[in-house]
Amino acid sequence: MGTGAVTRAPNPGTVVVMRAAAALALACAACGPSAYACTEDGQCAIDALLGVCQADGFCSFPDDDCPSGQRYGEHGGPVGGQCVPVADGTSSSGGVGTTDDTLASLDGSTTAPTRETTSAGGTSDATATTDASATTSTGDPVDLEPLLWFAFDDANVGGVPNLGSLGGVAACTDLSCPSSTAGVVGTGAQFDGVDDCAIFPADPALAQLDALTLTAWLLREPTPGYDCILCKPVGIEPWNSWRLATYDDADDIAVGDFRVGTADDTGVSLASPIPTASWAHLVGTWDGATMVLWIDGVVAQQSPNTSYEVDDQPVFLGCDDDHDIIGITNFLTGSIDEVRLYGRVLGDDEIAELYAQGMAPAQAEGARLTPDRGPRSPGSTR
C-alpha cells in the first residue's frame, strides 16, 4: 500500500440478497407441459433464479440433491426433472450460452449470489484452472476472483447484487436505481445522469490492495459532464483512491479515464478516446508502481505511479462523492455492464478473454447500440 494509508474502520456490514430455493426452479405455474429448448443461459430464468442452458439444449437449475448441483427443469423434455449428469473432467454446469449463471447455494445469510468463473471471472471452461495458492510478492494469498462484480443480471430493486467474493449489495438508498437494459453479456444497467447511483459499503479488504484491476463495458451517451463508472473517494476533498470514469476532453472527444491517487490529489490519471456509438471495454491496472489503461483490448496509455491512499469510504457505482463541495455527483449518463474490481493485476490473456466475451454478443445485436429509455426499475425513487 502506498504512503499515507488510513486505517480502515470495521466493515459496516453488507446487505444480503436472498435467493428462492432451488426447488422453485422445478415449478412454473404459467408454463404448459411442453418441452422448452434453449440456446443460451439468459433464456433459463424463473424470476430471480438463474439457470444454465445445458449442451443438450434444455435448462437446468441449482439443486443440492444432485451430484452435479444441477437439475433439469420440468420443461426439459425427455430429461425433465432429472439430475444433470456429471461429466468426467468437465464442469457439471457448463452451459452453451455466453455465461455460466450457476448460483452458489446459500448456507446462511452471509453471501450474495455468485457465478462459476475462470480466473478472470469469465465463463467456466473444462481447461481453465486457477491456482488457489497464488500469492503476492510478500507471500500474502491472492484472491483470483473479482472482489466486486456487478453483472446487472437481476432486477435492480433497491440495489445491485455483488457477485464478487466480498458479496453484499450496492444499495440505492435515498437514490434512484439504474434501469435494466440490454447489456454486452446478458442484462446491463442504464444510468440516467440525474440521480441513478448505487453505493457499496466499505470493506476492510478494499483497504488492503497493493495492486488492482478495474474493468467495465461502457455505452456512453453524449454528455458534457464528468461521469463516474466505479469510484472510490478518499479524504474530504473531491479526490479518489482509484476510479474508472468517462468525460469529454477539451476537444469534445469522449475519453475513458483511469486514476489512482491520494487525498491531496497526488497521483496519475490516464485518459484515451473511446467510441460513443458502440460499447467500449475499459480496463485499468495498477501493480503498485505502474498504471496501464486498456481500451477495447489494446493498451492505450501507461505511466509510473506510486501515489496511493485509501480510507474507509464506500465505493460508488455510477456516481461519486465530492463531499461538502457538491455531495453525491458525477452521475453517469449511459449504460454499463460487467463492472469489476480485482485485487490483483490481470494478465494480458485474461484481459483479452474478458474483451472477447463481450465482443460477439455486442456485434450481433445492433439494438444494443441505442439503449431503450423504457420504464424504470421498481427500485426507482423518481
Contact 327, 144 (CB under 8 A): no
- Sorted by where each begins, the domain ranges of the chain are 23-103, 148-369
pLDDT at 130: 35
CA angle in degrees (0–180, nearest 5) for 104-314-302: 90
Residue 305: strand pairing partners: none
Residue 206, phi then psi, degrees to nearest 5? -75, -10
pLDDT at 271: 96
Is pLDDT of 197 > 90? yes
Is pLDDT of 219 > 50? yes
pLDDT at 73: 87
Predicted confidence (pLDDT) per residue in 276-335, tens digit? 889 999 999 999 999 999 999 999 999 999 999 999 999 999 999 987 777 899 999 999
* Residue whose C-alpha cell is 434512484: 176
Predicted confidence (pLDDT) per residue in 172-183, tens digit? 967 789 999 999
Residue 181: strand pairing partners: 188
pLDDT at 49: 77
The model's confidence at residue 159, banded by pLDDT at 50, 70 and 90, is: very high
pLDDT at 363: 52
pLDDT at 199: 94
The model's confidence at residue 135, banded by pLDDT at 50, 70 and 90, is: very low
CB-facing half-sphere around the CA of 220: CA atoms within 13 A: 26
pLDDT at 33: 39
- What topology is assigned to 148-369 in CATH? Jelly Rolls (2.60.120)
pLDDT at 48: 60
Q: Please choose, from the candidates 230, 228, 204, 238, the residue with its C-alpha nearest in 3D space to the C-alpha of residue 311.
A: 204
What CA–CA distance (Å, rounded) separates 222 from 335? 12
Query: Which one has a higher pLDDT value, 261 or 12?
Result: 261
Q: Please choose, from the candidates 209, 220, 281, the residue with its C-alpha nearest in 3D space to the C-alpha of residue 248.
A: 220
| Burial class, 22, CB count within 10 angstroms (exposed 0-12 / middle 13-18 / buried 19+) | buried
Is pLDDT of 190 > 90? yes
Pairing of strands 280-286, 187-192: unpaired
pLDDT at 374: 33
Q: For 2-12, what is the mean pLDDT? A: 33
The chain-wide mean pLDDT, for the chain, equals 74
Q: For 70-89, what is the mean pLDDT? A: 80
Residue 210: strand pairing partners: none
